[in-house]
Amino acid sequence: MTHSDRILMGPGPCNPYPEVIEAFGRPVLGHLDPEFISLLDDTGERLRQVFRTDNPLTFPVSGTGSAGMEAAFVNFVEPGDVVVIGVNGVFGGRMCDVAARAGAEVVRVDAAWGTAIEPQQLLDAHPDPKIIAVVHAETSTGVRNDIADLGAAKGDALLLIDCVTSVGGIPVELDEWGVDIAYSGTQKCLGVPPGLAPLSVSPAAVERIIERPQSWYLDLNMIARYVTGGSARAYHHTAPISMIYALHAGLGVLLDEGLVASFVRHQSCGDTLQTGLVEMGFEMFAEQGHQLPQLTTVVVPTDRLPAGVGEADVRRQLLGHYGIEIGGGLGEFAGKVWRIGLMGHTARRRNVTLLLGALGEILAG
Amino acid sequence: MTHSDRILMGPGPCNPYPEVIEAFGRPVLGHLDPEFISLLDDTGERLRQVFRTDNPLTFPVSGTGSAGMEAAFVNFVEPGDVVVIGVNGVFGGRMCDVAARAGAEVVRVDAAWGTAIEPQQLLDAHPDPKIIAVVHAETSTGVRNDIADLGAAKGDALLLIDCVTSVGGIPVELDEWGVDIAYSGTQKCLGVPPGLAPLSVSPAAVERIIERPQSWYLDLNMIARYVTGGSARAYHHTAPISMIYALHAGLGVLLDEGLVASFVRHQSCGDTLQTGLVEMGFEMFAEQGHQLPQLTTVVVPTDRLPAGVGEADVRRQLLGHYGIEIGGGLGEFAGKVWRIGLMGHTARRRNVTLLLGALGEILAG
């Protein structure tokens, strides 16, 4: 069975940091072993630093980013609760689906894909929602939505944000912004393979966890007794031990580098890529001023492709001839947009140089 | 931060096979990379061999065993559906909780912890249930419940079994037994760290997947388009790539050894341990004839412990002085029972010898 070493420049997963893969090699500990509990506690502490929060209930959900999304909704939504959700891409749309399955009365605030959502529109959408939810970095469009102004004006609502693609790549300030519930994924700017969903819940939101969420697996009432139970730890489910080693190691790499240094690195790589693509004649898809450095979206240059070569052929050539993965568009932008990630360990100048060179060669036919 | 190498003789996780840890080192592929799709397909094929089934919908759920349990219920249960559940331990009880949260009318069939459930009682519990569910190997008590006779007599009901602790350690025959829905975990007799829940669904059960399960993350309608979509794969959520490498490798070790050889190894280790413990004066907890070889439960020999030494002290000494983890009891048997696992890579004669020696030394004071 062929197993190639790719340069992962799609919308995630990224290439993991070497220290992360090393961590997978550590001996497996039991999920109630004091040594593992220490490591889990330290993982929570590292996550608090990365999320910029003091929230005690900060831990990795035992599933991928979408499990984090589901945990973020099902623990707070009871049938009939009003949830305002900003939608300018796939993941905002997914939030609506998840919230509706928990019985929410969803109030959608749509913005065109490729543009950002105006925070005031979220605030004006309903006089008294239980939750206002928005995706910070839309992985489907490469757009950053502004969060900072929502917290101060949210009233009694809980502010819920998706940080899957933002954490580690651009500033995220849960406490300063007044965010109540935030989830992320490991496979983007944290430089860890997919498998866990870091989640953080403010003390105010902890008070509003519903009594019996529809999901047993994601029930924060029970999970909190394991992850923050102190000496009274209660087994809930067996934690994904080795994945937590990997996350712990990836957070260590990020914090050793420093959050600001990581943001600068991601920004620098993204700027260089975007400048290079524009110089090659590409048109950016995401709105100016809201472009993510870690995830660049460009309009497929249909008129510049060699004769008989479609956009999927270009991606196939990148993969087959260069071992580079980039992402296609989603939804109505399938075939029309490429998504190029520079996240985590992938966010290196050399990868920018490589991709621009490879694209140039392919477009030259 | 201390990180010891334990001999994991608790109720799971077990020690992983060395080949499994090696697999974690493989380069990360994208979840839509043709090479990863091939590996995922092959993982499904290996799971079919291990589950002894032809079910096309056989794949690892992106969560630990309890996520498998939740997927097994929420995709089939609508409010008011009657679900008969056998309960003779923690995991049968958990099934009731999960099913009830999906709106099931749960009909419990209880048996004393430590004893097996009589299949006829499950069949007689309700005239027309939608699901009959039972745990094959109860991890909380070390008891094997008989499944083989349920399939032929189940009528229109779907037969749902928890194989978390059984698969790879004792015979599991999904197709021969007429099982419709089965889930497992990776960290027991498959010799892989925790993190995935292999799931298999019969074609008859696929026809009865409900339209819109309450869980988006576990929605089999959408997941099936990714895992069995052929050329029309649709992205659902990012698969936990590296964990799937690990599972694929663990299944390879198991199939290379051969299922029957693995059962013989687990049985031999369990027999040797149980004989040794009885010779030392221990009393077995699980009912004769239904004792799991891979998970031995013994009554704590309170009267034989050195003065001032409690059962938790014994477990602490095993962990601290010998690096051996065994499990305590759960629920009302906390403090009264020990659970000793010999699963996956841990199921080695040398570990039996070691544990009996260590226990002998500790009891000698």
- CATH classification of the domain holding A91: 3.40.640.10
Rounded-to-integer distance, Cα B55 and Cα B198, Å: 12
Give the per-residue SS3 of A135-152.
ECEECCCCEECCCCCHHH
Stretch A200-204: mean pLDDT: 98
Q: What are phi and psi of B158, to 5 degrees?
A: -90, 135
CA distance A176 to chain B (A): 30
CATH number of the structural domain spanning residue B300: 3.90.1150.10
Question: Same domain, yes or no, for B22 and B139?
Answer: yes
Question: Same domain, yes or no, for A240 and A212?
Answer: yes
List pLDDT tens digits, range A14-34.
Answer: 999 999 999 999 999 999 999
List pLDDT tens digits, range B166-184.
Answer: 999 999 999 999 999 999 9
Is there a contact between A242 and B239 if contact means CB atoms under 8 Å apart? no
Is there a contact between A31 and B194 if contact means CB atoms under 8 Å apart? yes
Q: How many CB pairs under 8 A join A and B?
A: 199
Decide if B44 is inside a domain: yes
pLDDT bracket for residue B1 (50, 70, 90) = confident
* Total tally of structural domains belonging to chain B: 2
Asked whether the predicted pLDDT for residue A207 surpasses 90, the reply is yes
Q: Which of A24, A67, A101 sits opposite B242 (nearest CB)?
A: A24
Question: Same domain, yes or no, for B52 and B158?
Answer: yes
**For B328, which residue in chain A has the nearest alpha carbon?**
A32
**Which residue range forms the structural domain that includes residue B57?**
18-257
Helix (H, G, I), strand (E, B) or coil at B127: coil
Neighbour-count burial of A233, counting CB atoms closer than 10 A to its CB (0-12 exposed, 13-18 middle, 19+ buried): middle
Say whether the ipTM exceeds 0.90.
Answer: yes
If one counts every other C-beta atom within 10 angstroms of the C-beta of residue A235, the result is 15
Decide if B35 is inside a domain: yes
List pLDDT tens digits, range A302-345.
Answer: 988 999 999 999 999 999 999 999 999 998 899 999 999 999 99
Which among A199, A228, A257 is the end of a domain? Answer: A257
Decide if B2 is inside a domain: no
**For B235, which residue in chain A has the nearest alpha carbon?**
A330
Give the pLDDT of residue A228: 87
List pLDDT tens digits, range B127-163.
Answer: 999 999 999 999 999 999 999 999 999 999 999 999 9
Question: Same domain, yes or no, for B245 and B270?
Answer: no
Interface probe, candidates A19, A39, A242, chain B, greatest B C-beta count within 10 A: A242
Measured between beta carbons, the chain B residues lying within 8 angstroms of A319 are 33
**For B68, which residue in chain A has the nearest alpha carbon?**
A217
Whole-number mean pLDDT of chain B?
97
Q: Residue B129: which of B174, B97, B171, B160 has the closest Cα?
A: B160
- pTM as predicted: 0.98
Stretch A244-256: mean pLDDT: 98
Whole-number mean pLDDT of chain A?
97
Q: What are phi and psi of A12, to 5 degrees?
A: 115, 140
Which among A227, A257, A287 is the end of a domain? Answer: A257
Measured between beta carbons, the chain A residues lying within 8 angstroms of B345 are none
Question: Amino acid identity, residue A116?
Answer: A
Question: Same domain, yes or no, for A146 and A289?
Answer: no
Interface probe, candidates B29, B140, B216, chain A, greatest A C-beta count within 10 A: B216
Give the pLDDT of residue A245: 98
Question: Same domain, yes or no, for B250 and B265?
Answer: no
Rounded-to-integer distance, Cα A72 and Cα A68, Å: 6
List pLDDT tens digits, range B210-222.
Answer: 999 999 999 999 9
Q: Omega into A13 within 30° of 0, i.e. cis? A: yes
Long-range contacts made by residues B223-227, C-beta under 8 angstroms, separation at least 24? Answer: B223/B59, B224/B57, B227/B40, B227/B44, B227/B57, B227/B59
Q: Which of A15, A67, A236 sits opposite B217 (nearest CB)?
A: A67
The strand pair at A105-110 and A337-341 is best described as: unpaired
Question: Same domain, yes or no, for B253 and B270?
Answer: no
pLDDT bracket for residue A275 (50, 70, 90) = very high
List pLDDT tens digits, range B175-211.
Answer: 999 999 999 999 999 999 999 999 999 999 999 999 9
Give the pLDDT of residue A230: 75
Dig out the tokens for B344 from the structure. Answer: 């996956």
CA distance B333 to chain A (A): 15
Cα angle B226-B232-B233, degrees, rounded to a multiple of 5? 20
Decide if A71 is inside a domain: yes
Helix (H, G, I), strand (E, B) or coil at A236: coil
Question: Amino acid identity, residue A92?
Answer: G
Question: Same domain, yes or no, for B251 and B138?
Answer: yes
DSSP string spanning A180-211? SEEE--SSSTT---S--EEEEE-HHHHTT--S
Question: Same domain, yes or no, for B192 and B250?
Answer: yes
List pLDDT tens digits, range A209-241.
Answer: 999 999 999 999 999 999 987 777 888 999 999
Stretch A342-354: mean pLDDT: 98
Question: Amino acid identity, residue A76?
Answer: F
CA distance A153 to chain B (A): 30
Q: What percent of chain B has pLDDT over 70?
A: 100
List pLDDT tens digits, range A37-78.
Answer: 999 999 999 999 999 999 999 999 999 999 999 999 999 999
Rounded-to-integer distance, Cα B215 and Cα B359, Å: 45
Give the pLDDT of residue B68: 98
Question: Same domain, yes or no, for B95 and B239?
Answer: yes
Q: Which of A25, A63, A102 sits opposite B67 (nearest CB)?
A: A63
Measured between beta carbons, the chain A residues lying within 8 angstroms of B27 are 3-6, 15
Which among B235, B257, B279 is the end of a domain? Answer: B257
Stretch B299-326: mean pLDDT: 95
Decide if A1 is inside a domain: no
Helix (H, G, I), strand (E, B) or coil at B105: strand
E strand or H helix at A84: strand A82-87
Give the pLDDT of residue B365: 85
Rounded-to-integer distance, Cα A236 and Cα B94, Å: 10
Question: Same domain, yes or no, for A247 and A267?
Answer: no
Measured between beta carbons, the chain A residues lying within 8 angstroms of B28 are 6, 8, 13, 15-16, 193
Distance of CA B71 to the CA centre of its chain: 15
Dig out the tokens for A80 from the structure. Answer: 């009939």
The strand pair at B283-284 and B295-299 is best described as: antiparallel
CA distance A212 to chain B (A): 8
Burial letters A149-174, b for 16+ CB under 10 A, else e:
ebbeebeebbbbbbbbbbbbbbebeb
Decide if B1 is inside a domain: no
Stretch A355-359: mean pLDDT: 98
**For B15, which residue in chain A has the nearest alpha carbon?**
A28
Give the pLDDT of residue A8: 98
DSSP string spanning A344-361? GGG--HHHHHHHHHHHHH
Decide if A199 is inside a domain: yes
Interface probe, candidates A106, A214, A233, A238, chain B, greatest B C-beta count within 10 A: A238
Stretch B55-71: mean pLDDT: 98
Question: Same domain, yes or no, for B102 and B134?
Answer: yes
Q: Which of B12, B25, B194 sits opposite A240 (nearest CB)?
A: B194
Give the pLDDT of residue B233: 81
Dig out the tokens for B76 from the structure. Answer: 């089939």
List pLDDT tens digits, range B224-253.
Answer: 999 987 777 888 999 999 999 999 999 999
Decide if A246 is inside a domain: yes
Q: Which of B12, B25, B236 sits opposite A238 (nearest CB)?
A: B12
Is there a contact between B63 and A66 if contact means CB atoms under 8 Å apart? no
Rounded-to-integer distance, Cα B156 and Cα B162, Å: 20
